[in-house]
Amino acid sequence: MNILSDLKELLLPRLCPVCGKLLMQNEDVMCAYCAIGLPRHHIPNIIDNPMLRSVWDKVNVQRSTTFLAYNHNSPYHNLVIDFKFHGMSDNAVRLGHWAALEAERLDFFEGVDALVPVPLTRWRRWERGYNQAEMLARGMAEVTGLPVVNLLKRTKNRKLQSTLKGEARIKNAEGIYKAIDIPDEWRGKRLVLVDDVMTTGSTLANCALALQNVDKSAEICIFPLAYAK
Ligand SMILES: [Zn+2]
């Protein structure tokens, strides 16, 4: 550690988003204590699991995995809030990195050609300054060396998915994602869709459908950072 980083730590103290404790210089994203208690979601079978079964009636998705169990009432929820609403984009990169390390052990990235972030509307992207799904994908790219390719766009400004429940959420997500005019080099590839939180699965299913509408030969896998069972 040098004087500059000591000074930065003094002037801009970082707090653990989970417990609120002051972070030490060597602590990244959260404190060591909270990192140990991170609510992991283990997916032992990447080709048949509840995440996949929740989207299979709608779209053919081949693999899925996730890193965290999402619970709206848990203080770990603040990890997502911070990178989504408080500008902590670096945290999304770190979490994406850790999630990918875990997924690599399951051979999740075998034969994968690219990482495709779930898009935001242009307005939301501008307002936030970044797309958190793209930041997660960048963290995954650090581990896998895979390219992050934006093949989707979000076409309409609708209500925030997180403000809706059940049927309303499913309806809201329908038809709002479209694939771009996919260049030949990205056709017939195995793509991993990356998002922050999967709840009903409607967002990821609609993104997969949008890609397959344009390229039937695309093989789609899904990788949300967290999964709310
Ligand atoms: Zn903590």
Query: Tell me: the pLDDT tens digits for 100-116?
Result: 999 999 999 999 999 99
Domain boundaries defined on the chain? 1-37, 39-227
Local confidence band at 165 (pLDDT 50, 70, 90 cut-offs)? confident
Q: Where does the pLDDT of residue 172 fall: very low under 50, low under 70, confident under 90, or very high at 90 and above?
A: low
* CATH number at 39-227: 3.40.50
- Average pLDDT of span 163-171: 70
Residue range 120-131: average pLDDT?
93
**How far is the C-alpha of 71 from the C-alpha of 91, rounded, in Å?**
18
The number of angstroms, rounded, from the C-alpha of 123 to the middle of its chain's C-alpha atoms is 19
SS3 27: coil
* Centroid of ligand 1 to alpha carbon of 95 (angstroms): 15
222 vs 33: CA distance, rounded Å: 30
Length of the chain measured in residues:
229
Identity of the amino acid at 73: N
- Please give the distance, rounded to the nearest whole angstrom, from the Cα atom of residue 30 to the centre of ligand 1: 5
Average pLDDT over residues 137-148: 98
Q: Above 70 in pLDDT, residue 171?
A: no
Q: Measured between alpha carbons, how far is 127 from 121 in angstroms, rounded to an integer?
A: 10
CA atoms within 13 A on the CB side of 7: 3
User: Residue 18 Cα, ligand 1 centroid: separation in angstroms?
Assistant: 5
Structure-block tokens of residue 23:
């972070």
Please report the pLDDT score of residue 156 as a whole number.
72
| Mean pLDDT value of segment 23-42 | 94
Q: How far is the CA of 118 from the centre of ligand 1 (A)?
A: 29
How much distance in Å is there from the Cα of 184 to the middle of ligand 1?
46
* Tally of CB atoms within 10 A around 126: 10
Return the closest-CA partner of residue 110 out of 208, 219, 183, 187: 219
CB 221 within 8 A of CB 55: no
Residue 159 has a pLDDT of: 65
The better pLDDT of the pair 2, 219 is held by: 219
